[in-house]
Amino acid sequence: MSESASASTQELERAALDSLAAAESESELEEWRIEYLGRRGVLSSRLRSVGALPVEERREAGASLNRLKNRLSNAFDEAAERASGSADRRSTDDGIDITLPGRRPNLGGLHPSEMMMREILEVFNDMGFQTVEGPIVELEKYNFDMLNVPPDHPARDLQDTLWIDRESKDRVLLRTQTSPMQVRTMEKQRPPVRIVSPGLCFRHEATDATHEWQFHQIEGLAVDEGVTMSDLKGTLYEFARRIFGTQRKIRFRCDYFPFVEPGVDVSVDWDGRWVEIMGAGMVHPKVLEGVGYDSSKYTGFAFGMGPERIAMLRYNIEDIRHFFSNDLRFLSQF
């Protein structure tokens, strides 16, 4: 038996820890491990010798040695970890400190509304809908009259208007929707028509977490022979699959918008609840006739949605007012 083996447990522990502290290289550590914790090491032989003790002392002696073995084993693990850590550090002496942050240019970024609109427009562009744009300051006749909302029509209550000039002959307003582009497009173009029209819209509304007086809208229109409500459902179904995920379902319920008949409100299945995302419907024959289309020959569907609302749903944004606050704490997250 070695000298240390005969020393008391306490002395043994001190000696072992001192020599562990002195071990620097991995090979020295390994030597230490074999000496103390190895199969033929000090602790193993001590434990084996417990059997020689009187029965009443065996239990206590064995337990105490086992505790010591655990302590030394832990101390070894820590020392080994330290040693390998300093190995990493050492290796940088002749290499690169790969933990230093990389050098990056400042990250620019699109506004979330723009980002959302691009995604949505791409879906419809892929289906043959072309992007068209129109004026923000718009004529009353395009925003309302030609969309089957004559003056003094109660449907005007649905969209409180910000007027630029109510007095002149051609009354001018901030458009309340991008739907005027339906009319402006059809005035210039014969069927088939497939357009999407993005842009800013405005309503005279009190602002809160879910209402803004300024917001974006994307209007869609398809007119041709044989366009049906089933096609509207199919088109929007595809939209929902791409924007909200392939498992999403959509639901139609009856709703009223003066420039469509029948009109529907479209909801998307969002984690088990139905969330309204847009209004839609079959283009009202009066709208088609108003631009000189033969409504007995052509049918069409139209839809309108708010990119901010869809972004709020997708990114879990709690307050619509963030969108135009232009706070980098918000913008930098997109």
Rule CB under 8 A: which of 81-140 touch another protein?
Answer: 100-101, 103-111, 113-114, 118, 127-128, 130-133, 135-139
What's the closest the beta carbon of residue 90 comes to another protein, in angstroms?
22
CA dihedral of residues 156, 160, 166, 171 (deg, nearest 10): -60
Is residue 2 within 8 Å of residue 61, measured between CB atoms? no
Contact with another protein (CB under 8 A) among 162, 242, 314, 321: 162
Contact with another protein (CB under 8 A) among 176, 179, 182, 235: 235
Contact with another protein (CB under 8 A) among 7, 75, 313, 331: 331
What's the closest the beta carbon of residue 270 comes to another protein, in angstroms?
17
Is residue 267 within 8 Å of residue 251, measured between CB atoms? yes
Is residue 143 within 8 Å of residue 176, measured between CB atoms? yes
| Cα torsion angle, 8, 9, 10, 13, sign | positive
Residues 12-41 that bind another protein (CB under 8 A): none
What's the closest the beta carbon of residue 173 comes to another protein, in angstroms?
9
Residue 164 interacting with another protein (CB under 8 A)? yes
Contact with another protein (CB under 8 A) among 30, 252, 275, 313: 252
Residue 194 interacting with another protein (CB under 8 A)? yes
Residue 326 interacting with another protein (CB under 8 A)? yes
Classified as helix, coil or strand, 267 is: strand
Which residue in 152, 133, 150 sits closest to 218, CA to CA?
Answer: 133
Q: Which stretch binds another protein (CB under 8 A): 3-11, 17-25, 83-91, 206-214?
A: 206-214
Q: What does the alpha-carbon distance between residue 269 and residue 257 come to, in Å, rounded to a whole number?
A: 22
The two structure tokens encoding residue 77: 């693990």
